[in-house]
Chains A and B, each alone.
Chain A
């Protein structure tokens, strides 16, 4: 549990929290004509644009995204009074779906973090429309882990012609103002930023817990039964230690599309049963639009600010209800006066990711049960091929038949990044002797470490735009723009319907994915297995010296032959701190071997400085060393340049004779 000691927001209804409350109290929305760029040859021309940036500019979208982010984060900082906290004890967790491959996500993360002066870990979560919701949850995990004393978590996104064109192509936009749960069907895009400050004590509402899940259904359509959303909400309630009947308000994802709204309602009915009929369920997208990666944070803050005024947010533009939707959608122009004690805020994304947060008025200090974590299998595909014993080569992944490794996967339309990930996960599951089947699917998840979308898919998408204009962009390729796309495909193929996330942390990306997976297993009891992987794909014009590949470890909430006993993430330039804290958590006597740059075995010397693959491979190498008896306890360390320095400790476990 954490206290939300501050929050800040930039949205379609203006800058700052007071503007947001003003709009909710008075019934204004921020949907307007897009003026920043010409939409005639692109798509639908209205969105929830941040008003004082809705004019033509030379700034690329990522710079606007940075600007929104800095503004919102500063407001949160001031609100919390973070000047009192040492900078290296402040972490920044940033959710975004900005996907400018030339710039890279870390540049955007750093730009905001540097403006704030954050010297603790600076991490990104990129899971499309759940990015900032997930970032807030991840922030909670990091706070409880002791990585920081204050975490600024949330997200930012700025609209671009590409996003407008993509959503237009998918046919999910309404030409006017969206009316979630009502008519007309369709969503309205938006942009903005929102951040919360999480601390262990202080004054403010409580973030009690959060949950993650995957639909494992389709690239862009949600599971119509709402199964994925339901799993996410249940996981959040479980993590928060809150019962169903304590929830008195739900801030829904509520995009207004034909597919999301009924599925989401079904999920709410599944989780809350008969109580669902009386539960107020509203969608803030009705007044700020769909701020994409920033949506979760902006909407959570709308909930917080309404709660602070003894109100709950409304669903604007609600007229006639659709055949399947909430009985009480708070369908009115202004916020409703209502005392809400405990709320759920939920988001869903392309690729099938879902994330739910539980917020409460009063804190409820709970001792979390921490569970052991073991590495039960691993696999890697790279220039060496697929056999772990052959690891040592550098360069491109040689041609391989995915069918030989994952017989059930149809290779049609899979980009290299996705094929490598499927192969590595397939190999790791076989190595673990693990069949994901039956109910185990609901408790098996994936955390992917990746720093960009597939170069092949990205290039192919821009080729279609060059040939046919924005109106002719390829919808299937647009769907591959979100960084969690390979994870979404993986979840579908292997039935991984549990916790689901995608993280970026510069050169430490792969290792941070492992740490996140370990932390989820240790502290979220809905998780039983998580495959943690890092994947890098080379662009077709990359130099011969560079490498690509994917490495995966299957972690489980058990004891085992290889135990994961300690982990830590520290700020840039603090590798020693990360290692020392990981060792302390592990409570081991001696480290026999160090894997990582400046260690006994350096994966970057083997496969090159690949941000996700090398550090994920480091864990695979460490596990192999323990299994072969060459070492008892191994420290894996990875400096992460401007992002974070990371360390994890593995040790030989005692396997019980069965």
Chain B
């Protein structure tokens, strides 16, 4: 089990993972109203579309990173960071007087993940060639599975929801058909490293008490003209000076929770660190004093390691350059792709 090979599969081929998300179905006449009450982001979505949003506590701390998916009269919540039970309880807490039916699908449904620049090609064989039409943040039902196109690595990424009874068989089928594409079964640890390289928010690792979307550069997933749990706390935090995250990279190792200094002055700490197999060296999410929380700055130290800030994503996603209408795994060597790491000036 090589993390380097696992990461390479995500970056250049197709990788299969166990699911790291859970799903809750919300139905009933007032389903939209309930979710509109709790989602920091307005639900502009029509059938088949997904909204990338959060669940916050009253202090505006992110509890879950979730997609709210519009499925005709119902909504599917595909979430990371909270168990199905916990989500159901959270929703029920806001459902007073509403006609809603909330069902935790965790007991009956499991997930698999497919990630990589050619992940769509495997899925096209397993579901339908029409998957080329599945836009980012869209989903569809195909036979016994529901395919959500999300992805947190910057590559094509799909979460497949499958009835638990069929899960093993589905996995076997993917592995079998995927052999042609050199599909690699990878660990969730490797997937997490790819997520870090992409600068995607990781609700499991990057949240601390006292932290809100304002620090986490997640204000785009909130709105300031609606009320939702944590909206008051968030508004207050936005109005006061607060630190902000930035992505850091360095050649020497540094660890989660290391202190960060700039010219020997303390300026923050590392929320989440890991090795970057794509870039070489190490990468992390740093929470820095706002004034120095900018990309493209040098002179920091995380613990003893020299680090600098970079723009997100820290790698160049091959998937940006793969066109399912023109490219295939079999002919991949005929295509010229830009390097996986952008020039140093970025």
| A binding-site residues for B, Cβ under 8 Å | 217, 223-225, 227, 258-259, 262, 266, 322-324, 403, 407-410, 435, 437-438, 492-495
Name 18 A/B residue pairs within 8 A (Cβ), A-sorted: A224-B132, A224-B133, A225-B132, A258-B326, A259-B325, A262-B325, A323-B325, A323-B326, A324-B326, A403-B42, A407-B32, A407-B36, A408-B45, A409-B44, A410-B44, A435-B73, A437-B72, A438-B72
Residue of chain A at shortest CB distance from B328: A323
**Pair A408/B70 contact, Cβ less than 8 Å:** yes
Interface string of B23-60 (1 = CB under 8 A from A): 00000000010001000001111110000000000000
Q: Does B130 contact A (CB under 8 A)?
A: yes
Complexed CA–CA distance, A217 and B46 (Å): 11
Q: Which residues of B contact A409 (CB under 8 A)?
A: 44
* Shortest 7 CB-CB contacts between residues of A and residues of B: A225-B133, A410-B44, A225-B130, A224-B133, A262-B325, A437-B72, A224-B132
On whether A408 and B132 interact (CB within 8 A), knowing A224-B325, A324-B325, the answer reads no
Q: In the complex, how many angstroms separate the beta carbon of A410 from the nearest chain B beta carbon? A: 4
**Pair A223/B133 contact, Cβ less than 8 Å:** yes
Residue of chain B at shortest CB distance from A410: B44
Q: Which residues of B contact A407 (CB under 8 A)?
A: 32, 36, 43-44
Q: Which residues of A contact B44 (CB under 8 A)?
A: 407-410
Q: Which residues of B contact A266 (CB under 8 A)?
A: 129-130
**Pair B132/A493 contact, Cβ less than 8 Å:** no
Taking A223-B133, A224-B133, A494-B46 as given, write out 14 further A-B residue pairs in contact, using a Cβ cutoff of 8 Å, ordered by the A residue number: A225-B132, A225-B133, A227-B133, A259-B325, A323-B325, A323-B326, A324-B326, A407-B32, A408-B46, A409-B44, A438-B72, A493-B46, A495-B46, A495-B47
CB interface residues, B 302-334, toward A, < 8 Å: 323-326, 328
Q: In the complex, how many angstroms separate the beta carbon of B258 from the nearest chain A beta carbon? A: 40
Interface magnitude class on chain B: 20 to 34
Q: In the complex, how many angstroms separate the beta carbon of A231 from the nearest chain B beta carbon? A: 14
Interface of B is mostly: loop
Residue of chain A at shortest CB distance from B130: A225
Complexed CA–CA distance, A227 and B132 (Å): 12
Q: In the complex, how many angstroms separate the beta carbon of A466 from the nearest chain B beta carbon? A: 32
Complexed CA–CA distance, A409 and B326 (Å): 32
Q: In the complex, how many angstroms separate the beta carbon of A202 from the nearest chain B beta carbon? A: 43
| B binding-site residues for A, Cβ under 8 Å | 32, 36, 42-47, 70, 72-73, 129-130, 132-133, 323-326, 328
Q: Which residues of A contact B132 (CB under 8 A)?
A: 224-225
Complexed CA–CA distance, A227 and B42 (Å): 29
**Pair B133/A437 contact, Cβ less than 8 Å:** no
Complexed CA–CA distance, A322 and B331 (Å): 13
Q: Which residues of B contact A410 (CB under 8 A)?
A: 44
Q: Which residues of B contact A217 (CB under 8 A)?
A: 133
* A322 touches which of B36, B43, B326 (Cβ 8 Å): B326
Q: Which residues of B contact A437 (CB under 8 A)?
A: 47, 72-73
Q: Which residues of A contact B70 (CB under 8 A)?
A: 408
Residue of chain A at shortest CB distance from B132: A224
Complexed CA–CA distance, A217 and B130 (Å): 14
Residue of chain B at shortest CB distance from A217: B133
Q: In the complex, how many angstroms separate the beta carbon of B65 from the nearest chain A beta carbon? A: 21
Q: Which of A224, A227, A435, A437 has the most CB of B within 10 A?
A: A224
**Pair B325/A492 contact, Cβ less than 8 Å:** no
Q: Which of B43, B46, B326 has the most CB of A within 10 A?
A: B46
Q: Which residues of A contact B130 (CB under 8 A)?
A: 225, 227, 266
Q: Which residues of A contact B129 (CB under 8 A)?
A: 266
Complexed CA–CA distance, A323 and B129 (Å): 14
Q: Which residues of B contact A324 (CB under 8 A)?
A: 325-326
Residue of chain A at shortest CB distance from B131: A225
Q: Which residues of A contact B46 (CB under 8 A)?
A: 408, 492-495
Q: In the complex, how many angstroms separate the beta carbon of A47 from the nearest chain B beta carbon? A: 26
Q: Which residues of A contact B326 (CB under 8 A)?
A: 258, 322-324
Q: In the complex, how many angstroms separate the beta carbon of B24 from the nearest chain A beta carbon? A: 20
Q: Which residues of B contact A492 (CB under 8 A)?
A: 46
Complexed CA–CA distance, A227 and B129 (Å): 12
Complexed CA–CA distance, A277 and B328 (Å): 21
Complexed CA–CA distance, A262 and B129 (Å): 12
Q: Which residues of A contact B325 (CB under 8 A)?
A: 224, 258-259, 262, 323-324
